[in-house]
Amino acid sequence: MNNIFAVAGVVIKELYRRKDFYVLFILTIVICLVMASVNIFNDSQIIRYLKELCLLLIWISSLVIAITTTARQIPAEREQRTLLPLLAKPLSRTQLIFGKFLGCWLACGLVLVCFYAFFGALAASREHTWPLLNYFQAAFLHWVMLGVVIAMTLLGSLVFAAPSSNSTICLVIVLAILCVGRYLDLVALSLAEPGRSIISGIYYTFPHLEVPFGMRNLIVHDWPLIEWKFVALDALYLLAYAAAFLVAACLVFRRKAVN
């Protein structure tokens, strides 16, 4: 575990020393502040459109950070030859994979804390309320969902040749799941065989990442808390997928040449 945390620590350092996070964070703040300054019929209490915009930017930024940070981990190590001195230490490949995953995941967690803190401050500036538990539920499931994305991207970085292609493919898959994942079974019903069976199979096997994504509407429109048991169940469901992707990544990495 010590080795895993050591590798994770380096990944986190890399994230806060690169400019990506700061650029996206500042961009989010600027866009939200500009939109907040718009005069809408002299009413200063309108907030939901801002909340929706802010949450959308948070989701986009977090996905970009998660995917781009993870996609370059192993390929960059291989390209820059930092992998050799690393694996020459008493560090197994499985520990390296888990360390990279944990580092990216914790780094994304820190990113989400910053983003959601800004979101909370923005919302509170007009609503004058702090539904902390609601924000916590949304942020927590958002973070767990990013764990699945990171694990999937890590597997992709071992399968695909270049980080750019891996990033693109993972981003397209994730966006497709977020947008139409919930309705894929309806799409399947409208098709003839064998398309119907294929799409149905995909519907039941892919991770339903759109569940945390749908929580944005609950936050924007001030719906009551979700029951904690459902939050826990969804977290377990997503963690199971993350674990599956990680195991696959370990199996693939074991057979890969490192130089």
Partner 1 sequence: MNAILRTEKLRVEFKGREFRQLPKVALRGLDLEVNAGEVFGFLGPNGAGKTTTINVLLGFIQPTGGSASLFGIDVRQPIARQRIGYLPELTYYYKFLTAEELLRFYSRIFSLPRAEAEKRIDAVLKLVELDSARKRLIKTYSKGMQQRVGLAQALINNPDLLMLDEPTSGLDPLGRMKVREIIQRLKNEGKTVFFSSHELGEVETVCDRVAIIAEGELKAVGRVGDIVGQRASLEKAFLDIVGYQPQSTP
Partner 2 sequence: MNSAKTSWLLLIALLVLCFGLAANLQPKFQSLESSRRQSNNFFSLMLGDSSRIFANSFFVKADAYYHSGYYPTIFDNNEAFRTPHMAEDTGAVASHNEGEETSFMGPPRDWIDAFGRHFIPNRHTHLDEGGPTDDLSTSSEVREILPWLKLSAELDPENIKTYVVTAFWLRTKLNKVPEAEQVLREGLRNNPNDPQLLFELGRIYFENYHDPARARNIWEAALRSWARQAPGVPQSDRLEKTNENFDNRFIFEQLQTNLAQLEEKAGNRDAAIARWELAKLASPTPDDIQKHIDELKQKQTAH
Site string for partner 1, 102-141 (x = CB under 8 A): ----------------------------------------
3-state SS, 199-249, equals: HHHHHHHCCCCHHHHHHHHHHHCCCCCCCHHHHHHHHHHHHHHHHHHHHHH
Contact residues for partner 2, defined by CB under 8 A: 38, 40-43, 45-49, 141, 182-183, 185-187, 203-204, 208, 210-212, 214-215, 217-218, 220-224, 226-227, 230, 233-234
Is 17 an interacting residue with respect to partner 1 (CB under 8 A)? yes
Verify binding: residue 81, partner 1, rule CB under 8 A: yes
- Over the window 90 to 109, marking each residue x when it contacts partner 1 by CB under 8 A and - when it does not, the resulting string is xxx--x--------------
CB 23 → partner 1: shortest distance, Å?
16
Cβ neighbours of 98 (radius 10 Å): 21
Q: Residue 66: which of 223, 209, 258, 211 has the closest Cα?
A: 209
Residues 6+ apart with CB under 8 A from 55: 119, 216, 219, 220
Shortest distance, position 92 Cβ to partner 1, whole Å: 4
Instruction: Say what the alpha-carbon torsion angle 59, 10, 13, 5 is, to the nearest 10 degrees.
Output: 70
Q: Considering only 11-19, 137-145, 207-215, 239-247, which stretch makes contact with partner 1 by CB under 8 A?
A: 11-19
Euclidean distance between CA atoms 6 and 133, whole angstroms: 32
The binding site for partner 1 (CB under 8 A) comprises: 2-3, 6, 9-10, 13-14, 17-18, 80-82, 84-85, 87-92, 95, 257-259
